[in-house]
Amino acid sequence: MQQLRRIGQVIALADDGTASTEALASELRACFPELPVAVRRNRASRAMVAAAERARAVETMRDQVVFGYFAGTRTHAGDLATIEAALAGLLATEPRARLLLAGEVDVPSGLRRFGDRIERCAPVPWTELPALQRRADVHLVPLAPSRFATCKSELKWLEAALVGRPVIATALGPYRACVRDGETGLLAQDEAAWDDALRRMLDDRLRARLGGAALSAAMQAWTTDAP
């Protein structure tokens, strides 16, 4: 709470503000009516693009399909919990499926029985992140509905797209706009939709098509060199 108060004190001293999504900008304007706030979407720097290119150059042939979840903070545990049942159903019935949990996240209790089919990776420097993200064939972006989640940016889609991987994302906040369902990724509204999307992503051709389309979209409009 002290940290949040200090953030508020700093914002109150600012003459202008920027936010990565319109929802976040709206919240800032509501809290600080006198503060001009502009929306500046996330974009990938040249260094991020170069690191992703190196990651895409390394291809590993395998029979497994790895679903990856990447967490930057412990707050993401609640998001992962929203798809725990769907993941358990997938792992229980699909021998090819594997789960990669990277960053600040623990294995949910309902998934621990799958043992060595779940791999955990510690947080890595951002320069090493694309290589780790490339190891996942599909990136998972579940979101627990809340004002906080609605304000989040589409960064997880962008990072996955840069390494040529598709996402399954909760149809919430910016993901409803940046993910064209069935074209640059899959959107899921509820547990049943997540279960269906997870199983659809076992199709090698679908993953390749969605990942390629996402990469093309990211390079066209989501880098610092893009118009």
Arithmetic mean of pLDDT over the chain: 94
If asked whether residues 14 and 54 sit together in one domain, one would say no
User: How far is the first Cα of the chain from the last one, in angstroms, to the nearest whole number?
Assistant: 40
The answer on 162 and 136 residing in a single domain is yes
Find the helix or strand (DSSP H, E) in which 53 lies: helix 46-56
35 occurs within a structural domain: yes
Report the CATH number at residue 81.
3.40.50.2000
Q: Look at residue 173 in the predicted model and tell me its pLDDT.
A: 87
Q: What is the mean pLDDT of residues 167-186?
A: 94
Question: Measured between alpha carbons, how far is 132 from 136 in angstroms, rounded to an integer?
Answer: 7
Task: Report whether pLDDT(61) > 80.
Answer: no
**Is the predicted pLDDT of residue 73 greater than 80, yes or no?**
no
Q: What is the mean pLDDT of residues 139-144?
A: 96
In a domain, 71, yes or no: yes
Strand, coil or helix: 49: helix
Q: How far is residue 114's CA from residue 67's CA, in Å, rounded to a whole number?
A: 14
Kindly state the average pLDDT of the residues 72-98: 92
Residue 195 tokens, joined? 């279960």
pLDDT of residue 111: 96
Least confident of 92-96, 176-180, 184-188: 176-180
What are the tens digits of pLDDT across the range 189-225? 999 999 999 999 999 999 999 999 999 999 999 999 9
Say what the pLDDT of residue 142 is.
96
Q: Are residues 68 and 84 in the same domain?
A: yes
Q: Identify the domain containing residue 26 by its residue range.
A: 2-39
